[in-house]
A and B are shown apart, each in its own frame.
Chain A
Amino acid sequence: MKSTILSLALILATGLAFAQKKTTTSAIVSFDATTSLDQLPKAENKTVIAALDPKSGNIAFEVNIKNFAFSNPRIQEHFNNAGWMHSDKYPTAVFKGSIINLSSIKFTKDGTYPAEVNGDMTIHGVTQAVKTTGSITVKGKEITANAEFSIKLSDYAVDGSAVGAGKVSKEPKITVTAVF
């Protein structure tokens, strides 16, 4: 009897653990907006806040724009100023969405699963609906979410002179990695 109660309690505790939202303060978002004219506009942000709820499939990211680290000081300055990201006015980029093929992802079984994600992305104060495909890798207690996609800067009203001059790609590639 005691062992049955203990087993039930264990199953319940395991279920609750998976129902909990998982978060990290150290997701990585990088972008590559290089062109044949300029190889400098690319950067990485290693302190992105992310959340994943394996039960509901909700997934979210918050990016402090100023924490994108560039190799070149001048490009970093341009990136943050009013002509590009205007990070004083719009300090964060946010994604809120959900995994729509949640039933095909087994969070209790090791493996890599394709994940289709729908959601809203807010960059430069403009919110757009986005749909992308990524992957979820389960290894023991660790869940890793990966995605790679492009955005159109014009969709987010990012249209500085460098973009018009062809020095910054109009459709930069974004790479996201979050380990929960």
Chain B
Amino acid sequence: MRFQCLNMVYLLYMLTTNINPRYKKWLIALFVLLLAGGAAIWWIFTEKFTDTAAVKADHTVNAMDFIKEFKTDLALANKKYTEKIIVVNGTVSEIKYADTTANIIMADTASGAYVIFAFQQQHLAAAKALKVGETVSIKGSCSGGTYSEILETQSISFKRCAVNK
């Protein structure tokens, strides 16, 4: 990479050797600008979500209180929590296996309302090792709550989760 950069600088020098010095500095500035723009675009399109385990949480909540907030005022809770990193502490009600993945559910048994966590690939093994009834802390990106006409209850979804140790 360093060699390539040196090569480009040399090429730029050679190309601008016989150019009027007045235009030369503008050409160099344009070249640097194009290089910076290219680097920015490359960075944007190759950027990946970082490991949720390493991201600082915006809120830490208890699962049942969290569900209650969504049941009380769905719009307000969505505004407060959606697209935020949340740590949810609670008890595993159910583990749903589908395909090669597993989702963890913390449910309010009285109303059927629940929080469901889908995990990042690197944290899937830790999620699969959890047991129903186990007290756990899960960190993830909250996708907000919706009312399910199928289940006739509130569902709050999380993506990119990690078992919080």
Provide the A19-46 mask, 1 if CB < 8 A to any CB of B, else 0. 0000111111000000000001000011
* Most chain A beta-carbon neighbours within 10 Å: one of B97, B144, B150, B155: B150
Chain-A contact segment, one of B23-31, B42-50, B64-72, B130-138: B42-50
Q: How far is the CB of A62 from chain B (nearest CB, A)?
A: 6
Known: A64-B144, A92-B146, A177-B98. A25 touches B118 (CB 8 A): no
Tell me if A67 counts as interface (CB < 8 A to partner B): yes
Which of the residues A28, A51, A67, A70 comes within 8 Å of B157, measured between beta carbons?
A67
User: With the chains together, A26 CA to B144 CA distance in Å?
Assistant: 16
Q: A50-B150, A51-B150, A72-B48 are in contact. Are A24 and B98 (CB under 8 A)?
A: yes
Tell me the bound Cα distance from A25 to B47 in angstroms: 30
Q: Bound complex: CA of A45 vs CA of B44, how far in Å? A: 23
A179–B98 contact, CB under 8 A?
yes
A47 within 8 A of B: yes
The answer to whether the Cβ of B16 comes within 8 Å of any Cβ in the partner chain is: no
Given contacts A62-B148, A64-B155, A67-B159, contact A28 B48 (CB under 8 A): no
Q: Is A119 an interface residue (CB 8 A)?
A: no
What residues of A have a CB within 8 angstroms of the CB of B148 in the complex? 49, 62
Residue of A nearest to B49 (CB): A73
Residues of chain B lying within 8 A (CB to CB) of residue A50? 150
Does B163 belong to the interface (CB within 8 Å)? no
Q: Are B151 and A47 in contact (CB under 8 A)?
A: no
Given A25-B155, A64-B143, A49–B98 Cβ distance below 8 Å?
A: no
Question: Could you tell me if A71 and B49 are in contact, using CB atoms closer than 8 angstroms?
Answer: yes
Q: Mark A46-77, 1 if CB is under 8 A from B, else 0.
A: 11011100000000101010111111111000
Q: Which residues of B are found within 8 Å of A94, using beta-carbon distances?
A: 149
* A91 in the interface (beta carbon within 8 A): yes
Q: Given A46-B118, A49-B155, A71-B48, does the pair A25, B96 have CB atoms closer than 8 Å?
A: yes
The answer to whether B150 touches A23, judged by C-beta atoms less than 8 angstroms apart, is yes
B150 near A27 with CB under 8 A, answer no
B72 to chain A, nearest CB (A): 18
Query: Do A46 and B146 form a contact, CB below 8 Å, given A28-B98, A64-B155, A66-B157?
Result: no
Q: Mark B109-136, 1 if CB is under 8 A from A, else 0.
A: 0000010101000000000000000000
Q: How far is the CA of A24 from the CA of B48 in the complex (A)?
A: 30
**CB under 8 Å from chain B, chain A span 106-135:** none
At the interface, yes or no: B103 with Cβ under 8 Å from chain A?
yes
Give me 10 A-to-B residue pairs in the complex whose CB atoms sit less than 8 angstroms apart, sorted by A's number: A24-B96, A25-B103, A47-B155, A62-B149, A64-B143, A64-B144, A64-B157, A66-B143, A67-B143, A179-B99
Q: A28-B101, A64-B146, A69-B118 are in contact. List 6 more A-B contacts (CB 8 A).
A: A26-B101, A47-B158, A49-B155, A60-B150, A67-B143, A69-B159
State the 4 A-B residue pairs at the shortest beta-carbon distance, nearest first.
A26-B96, A67-B143, A66-B143, A46-B118
Q: Which residues of A contact B (CB under 8 A)?
A: 23-28, 40, 45-47, 49-51, 60, 62, 64, 66-74, 91-92, 94, 177, 179
